[in-house]
Every structure is written in structure tokens, then in C-alpha cells.
Structure 1
């Protein structure tokens, strides 16, 4: 039989194999690290979007409530119908409240409230108000907005 005098078990003949394994491990770990950074970045953006969206919703609601307090003052039998103009379009176009918030929780948020009114017809009596409140909040180059629509009436049914 042939007998090879060279031994491949010696460290001299195995050099370079550890380098290939080390390069492979470095590449795999770099890919995993890059993927983790992207996943964390996406999760952070989603969280910021949810928080700013909730704040925009609160700003819209706050603006609508400001108008409702003015529209239906305490200890008054009737609504203050001078705040909202008569209905002329399919959606309200007159801005009746515009607020920029600086309080904690709504900093960098603003609200714009549109309102119109229509006289109720028989068999009902009174005035029907349609209110659209738009809230928006910004952080950096991102702006999130929400819109709510309310209808209120001082009518008798």
C-alpha cells in the first residue's frame, strides 16, 4: 500500500481553514446585526406613529370640545348659533376654532375646527350643527393627522 509520509494533521498543513471559518462567522454576524438594527428602527417608527396619531386624535377631540363648550354655554336654554354659519356646501368650510397647543402631551399639535348649521324641519324643531375637527401633530419631518366629525342638535324631537 501507498503510505503518504506527509501528515495533514499537522498545524502547518491546516493553516487558512480557521481564517475561512472566522470570515464566515463575521459575515453571518454582520447580517444578523444589520437585520436587528432595521427591525428596531421599524419598531421605533411604528411606536412614534402610534403615539403621534393618538395625540392628533386628542387634539381633534379637544378642538371639538372647545367649540361645543362655546356653542352650548352652561345655564343657557339655547345654543349660540352665531358661531357656525348656515350650511352652504356638503361639508363645513368655515373655520371657527384654530388652536396651537403648547401644553404637555399636545406640544407641537394643532387643531382646526369647521362648523355649519341647518334648521331642522318638521316634525322636529331647532338647529342642527355639523362639526369637523382636524388635529395634527408633528415631530421632526413627520406629521400625523386625525379627523373627527360630530353632529349636535338643540332640537326637540
Structure 2
């Protein structure tokens, strides 16, 4: 090997170092982007699960109010005023609760059925992952003729 060949080899070693640093920087940037996408995906999944839980909690709260308003046994029947503002929580420690609202609308016609507007506002999660869902339900008494 000649002396000029050794000099050329030494110059190439410096360029290989620059290429290696460039590859490391590019791979680090790609890894950081992948971590950001992964974190965003986990956050979205958490919100989706909590949103579904809140929706079902609000639905269950409305079902509970319906069962109290239109109880099979008259002794177990509740008035709309007694249900208004009542809290509802699902058992099992899911971390969800609902606040119930009941509004009674009397018809101006004599003998017409009473109409109820049931609203449940459910909340699941805490902090930045808190999710709220609201469900409204209209119900009407049956009139025996």
C-alpha cells in the first residue's frame, strides 16, 4: 500500500463518522415520532373507554329513574320531584357517577297523560381524562280509558 493510499483512508474515516452521526440523529428523530404517536393512541383509547362508560352510566341512570317513576307496585313509586338532583353511581368501582334531573310537564287538557323529561349527566375519569355524557329521555304516563 502506498503512502497516498493511507492518506485517502484517513480522509474516509472522517466521512464515515459524519455518516454514522447522521444515521443516529435520523433514527432518534424517528423513534421520538413513534413514541409521540404511541402516546397519542393510548390517550385516545383511554378517552374512548371512559366515554363509553359515561354513556352507559347516563343510560343506566335514566333506566333507574324510569323504574322508580313507573314502579310495578304503587308503594315503590317515586315522584319526579324526589328524583330531581339525585346522584347515581354504578357499583363495581368504575369511577363513574351521574346526576339525575326530572321535569314534569302537565298537559292543559283534562285527563291527558303527564309527560316527564329525564336528564342524566354522567361523568367518568378525572383530570385531563374526565369525560361527561348527557342523555335525555322523554316518558309519558299511560292513560287508562
How would you bin the TM-score normalised by the shorter chain?
0.7 to 0.9
Deviations 1:111-130 (A, max 9, x none): 11100101123387121111
In structure 1, how many angstroms separate the alpha carbons of the residues matched to 2:11 and 2:96?
69
Shift of residue 12 of structure 1? Answer: 2.5
Segments of 5+ residues of structure 2 without an aligned counterpart are none
**Could you tell me the TM-score, scaled by structure 2's length?**
0.83
State the SS of the aligned residue for 1:113: strand
**Could you tell me the TM-score, scaled by structure 1's length?**
0.77
Segments of 5+ residues of structure 1 without an aligned counterpart are 86-93
8 Å CA contact 1:120, 1:155 repeated in 2: no
The residue aligned with 1:100 is 89
In structure 1, how many angstroms separate the alpha carbons of the residues matched to 2:111 and 2:142?
7
The residue aligned with 1:114 is 101
Which segments of structure 1 move beyond 6 Å, counting only runs of 4 or more?
A: none
Aligned CA RMSD, in angstroms, stands at 2.5
Deviations 1:10-54 (A, max 9, x none): 422322111001000000000000000000000110111111000
Aligned residue-pair number:
139
